[in-house]
């Protein structure tokens, strides 16, 4: 083989080597690009997870603050309730307790005590009044008691001929409760009734129709 042929063979071999090197470098480059893309996508996913986690954490913190505030309010209400002396009337079915100028007001809705347009006590009402009497006799036997009758502001229609006015109806209902309490042992000399008709309405018609047994302070 002459020199020129050897040179050609050598050049051919070098060309093949260069082509091979270029091919390997391209594969490495492409692999690196793919890996870089995957890493970017993974980083982006992690960042999104962190953002969502941060938002959730902020929401949980806000919710926790609201719960803490509600717990504090309920605890305050509980402490306030515990600091107030019990009257003895708590837990009696159909009774709504309040206070007025130092007096205890035992409110009973007319629907508990009477049928519509009637001043005759319902049978079920007597159980409620019996429990009220028990507390009065055991705890407030020395107090004066005023039984107050109230109605709503609607004018009488069906029972107008019987009662004439709301004041008359409220008076007869208060008297019915007074007489029942006396019959059950409340001192007749320490109890009296009063009628207010529609003069002191409450938030609704149903709430306005009521009898209030007021335990006056000694």
pLDDT digits (tens, 9 = 90+) for 5-38: 444 444 455 555 544 444 556 676 667 677 778 8
The architecture that CATH gives domain 95-215 is 2-Layer Sandwich (3.30)
In DSSP terms, 193 is beta-bridged to 147
**Burial state string for 49-71 with b = 16 or more CB within 10 A and e = fewer than 16:** eeeeeeeeeeeeeeeeeeeeeee
Q: Cα separation of 148 and 178, whole Å?
A: 9
Token pair listed for 48: 């999104």
The pLDDT tens digits for 41-67 are 888 788 888 888 777 777 777 777 777
Calculate what percentage of the chain has a pLDDT beyond 90.
51
Q: Cα separation of 191 and 147, whole Å?
A: 8
Q: Cα separation of 201 and 97, whole Å?
A: 17
The pLDDT tens digits for 110-148 are 999 999 889 999 998 999 999 999 999 999 999 999 999
Q: Helix or strand or coil: residue 4?
A: helix
Token look-up 């130092």 returns: 102
- Is pTM beyond 0.75? Reply is no
Question: Domain limits of the chain?
Answer: 1-84, 95-215
């Amino acid at each position: 083989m002459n020199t020129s042929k050897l040179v050609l063979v050598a050049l051919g071999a070098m060309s093949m080597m260069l082509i091979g090197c270029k091919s390997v470098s391209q594969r490495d480059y492409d692999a690196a690009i793919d890996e870089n893309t995957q890493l970017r996508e993974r980083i982006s996913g992690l960042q999104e997870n962190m953002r969502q986690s941060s938002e959730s954490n902020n929401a949980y913190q806000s919710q926790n603050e609201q719960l803490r505030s509600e717990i504090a309010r309920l605890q305050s209400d509980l402490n306030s309730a515990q600091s107030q002396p019990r009257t003895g009337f708590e837990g009696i079915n159909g009774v709504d307790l309040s206070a007025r100028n130092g007096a205890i007001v035992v409110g009973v809705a007319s629907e508990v005590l009477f049928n519509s347009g009637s001043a005759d006590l319902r049978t079920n009402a007597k159980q409620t009044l019996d429990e009220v009497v028990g507390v009065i006799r055991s705890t407030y036997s020395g107090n004066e008691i005023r039984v107050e009758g109230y109605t709503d502001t609607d004018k009488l229609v069906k029972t107008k001929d019987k009662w004439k006015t709301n004041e008359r109806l409220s008076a007869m209902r208060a008297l019915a409760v007074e007489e029942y309490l006396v019959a059950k042992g409340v001192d007749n000399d320490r109890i009296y009734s009063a009628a207010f008709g529609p003069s002191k309405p409450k938030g609704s018609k149903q709430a306005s129709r009521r009898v209030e047994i007021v335990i006056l302070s000694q």
